[in-house]
Amino acid sequence: MGDWSGGSGGGYGGGGYGGRPREVHKAVCAECKQECEVPFKPSGDRPVYCKACFAKRKGNQ
Ligand SMILES: [Zn+2]
């Protein structure tokens, strides 16, 4: 799993600058009911999980 820890060590040779603001959306974890931020827009259609619960579920399956 690549948890690309966003740091200032990257040197993308692509165009432009690598300072793209990460878009995050506030959501409430369906499991622990904690407020969290997700990198996608919660549709309300499916439950949103925080990082911890997401990992827990994944390992649990
Ligand atoms: Zn959670």
Q: Residue by residue, what is the 3-state secondary structure of the chain?
A: CCCCCCCCCCCCCCCCCCCCCCCCEEEECCCCCCEEEECCCCCCCCCCCCHHHHHHHHHHC
Residue 50 included in any domain: yes
From ligand 1's centre to the CA of 24, what distance in Å? 16
- Per-residue confidence at 39, pLDDT binned at 50, 70, 90? confident
In a domain, 10, yes or no: no
Does residue 20 fall inside a structural domain?
A: no
Distance 35 CA to ligand 1 centre (A): 8
Q: Which residues surround ligand 1, an ion (CB under 5 A)?
A: 29, 31-32, 50, 53
Residue 47 inside a domain? The answer is yes
pLDDT of residue 43: 85
> Cα 46–47–49 angle (5° rounding)?
140
- Ligand 1 centroid – CA 32 distance (Å): 4
User: How many structural domains does the chain have?
Assistant: 1
Structural domain includes residue 44: yes
pLDDT at 53 over 80: yes
Q: What percent of the chain has pLDDT over 70?
A: 69
Whether 2 is in a domain gets the answer no
Residue 35 inside a domain? The answer is yes
Kindly report the pTM of this predicted structure.
0.56
Neighbouring CB atoms inside 10 A of 35's CB total 10
Residue range of the domain that includes 34: 25-60
